[in-house]
């Protein structure tokens, strides 16, 4: 196994976090310390927890635990996307695209949780 940057989960979660960062630049100023901050934080945490999981892969239980954090932060990001749509800060098209990517990230994380040995866990 190369390094964490080779993981599809890392690449997709980094991409989602950067897209969210760009899109939230247009959110209203009054959302700066609430929705904007929260969705940026949770989407970035998906990526950072992926890195942490990779670093803990020698310890399967820690690896899986960090990946469950990935899933939790990703679910939170999906919730903030729903608020962003409901508040009309993003279009349905943008919501669908970002939610689809987030859903794919969730499936990747679950695959890694279910198959830790394929990612060097315990080696």
Q: For residue 69, give the nearest of 34, 96, 105, 38 by alpha carbon.
A: 105
Residue 2 has pLDDT above 80, yes or no: no
Domain 4-119 sits in CATH at 1.20.1440.60
Residue 1 has pLDDT above 60, yes or no: no
Which pLDDT band holds residue 9 (cuts at 50, 70, 90)? very high
- Residues 6 or more apart whose Cβ sits within 8 Å of residue 23: 90, 94, 98
What pLDDT does 123 receive? Answer: 64
**pTM for this predicted structure:** 0.93
What pLDDT does 25 receive? Answer: 96
In contact, 13 and 105? CB cutoff 8 Å: yes
pLDDT tens digits, one per residue of 73-94: 999 999 999 999 999 999 999 9
What's the token pair of residue 73? 């932060």
Q: Determine the average pLDDT of the residues in 11-18.
A: 98
What pLDDT does 122 receive? Answer: 73
pLDDT tens digits, one per residue of 15-48: 999 999 999 999 999 999 899 999 999 999 999 9
């Amino acid at each position: 196994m190369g390094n964490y940057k080779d993981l599809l989960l890392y690449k997709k979660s980094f991409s989602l976090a950067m897209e969210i960062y760009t899109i939230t630049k247009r959110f209203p100023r009054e959302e700066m310390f609430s929705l904007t901050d929260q969705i940026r934080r949770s989407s970035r945490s998906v990526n950072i927890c992926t890195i942490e999981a990779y670093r803990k892969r020698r310890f399967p239980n820690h690896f899986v635990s960090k990946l469950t954090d990935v899933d939790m932060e990703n679910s939170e990001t999906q919730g903030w996307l729903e608020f962003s749509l409901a508040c009309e800060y993003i279009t349905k098209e943008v919501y669908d695209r970002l939610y689809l990517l987030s859903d794919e990230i969730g499936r990747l994380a679950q695959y890694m949780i279910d198959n830790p040995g394929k990612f060097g866990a315990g080696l």
